[in-house]
Amino acid sequence: MERLLNFVYAYRAFFTFLLLEIFCAWLVIQNNQYQSTKYFNSSNRLVARMNQTSQNIREYFSLVEINNTLAQENALLHKKLEQRELALQFLQLNRVTDSAMFYHFDYVSAKVVNNTTKYYKNFITINRGADAGLEPGMAVISSGCVVGKVKSVSNHFAVLISLLNLDEQVSCMIKRTGHFGTAQWEGTDPSIVSLKYIPRHVQPSVGDSIVTSGYNAVFPSGIFIGKIKTFKLNAESPFYEIKVELGLDFSNMAFVDVIKSRLKNERDSIEHVTIGEPK
């Protein structure tokens, strides 16, 4: 404190001059319209820039909340779209007898917190778990494309088995022809999967869309997987060798939607009673 007082005392003349200059400037601004207008216009521009910068900073730090909100809205839109498509199907068939069929699937939005694409068996971690009603076996999509299935859950997190996993297979079909097959990754290119079990009498084409078949109660039918990139048929082979270019970039996922099937347990139960355990 003593040093500060000594500093002020040593430069007392300068500080007195500075105060007088400020007082004179204030008098000029207060008593002259032109100078007053210029001062307030300049100060308003400066304050506006500062407010804009402050607003930009606040918006930047609120991006996480905005992204979460958009992801939740996206999940809600998926649910409404799926209900609308089911409603149209049942109206066309004149068989609207069970309202539960209009609410077959529900969607839970989640953020990706860990993801791998460089291994033979890749997994994805998301920030939703049992607290959001997630269970092993549930299907997962992102941007309208297949991602994989829920492998395990804790209270607040879940680990997904990615489509880029040698152990993962998805029942699918060629949308144009309606022929069914199985999509499976071969462990090399993270943008390509193989489409298996398409018989030789089928006539696939490059660019054909591959979508989920709906043959299980996990994925709704019609979820996009990718498009045929190449295909060939060996002379003695009963099936084509088809490569499908994925519609989703697995290395650039921020949010996913977990699909909860409301009728899966009922379907699994009747199939188990009728058919028994799969062998």
Question: What's 63-263's CATH class?
Answer: mainly beta
- The segment with the largest mean pLDDT, out of 6-15, 17-26, 126-135, 215-224, is 126-135
- Compare 2 and 123 and report the one with higher pLDDT: 123
- Which residues lie below 8 Å from residue 63, measured CB to CB, with a gap of 6+? none
- The pLDDT value recorded for residue 57 is 74
Rg (C-alpha) for the chain, rounded Å, is 31
pLDDT in tens, 234-253: 988 999 999 999 999 998 88
| Sequence-ordered strand ranges (E) for 156-278 | 158-165, 169-174, 180-184, 192-196, 209-212, 224-232, 241-246, 255-261
Residue whose C-alpha is closest to residue 216's, from 260, 181, 277, 267: 267
Q: What residues does each domain of the chain span?
A: 2-61, 63-263
Quick check: pTM over 0.95? Answer: no
Give the pLDDT confidence score for residue 244 in this predicted structure.
Answer: 97
How confident is the model at residue 99, as a pLDDT?
Answer: 46
Supply the angle between the helices 2-10 and 12-31 in degrees, to the nearest 10. 70
Q: What is the pLDDT of residue 97?
A: 44
Helices 63-93 and 33-61, interaxial angle, to 10°?
60
DSSP code, position 120: S
Residues 175-221: tens digit of each pLDDT: 999 999 999 999 999 999 999 999 999 999 999 999 998 887 678 88
Of the two residues 258 and 80, the one the predictor is more confident about is 258
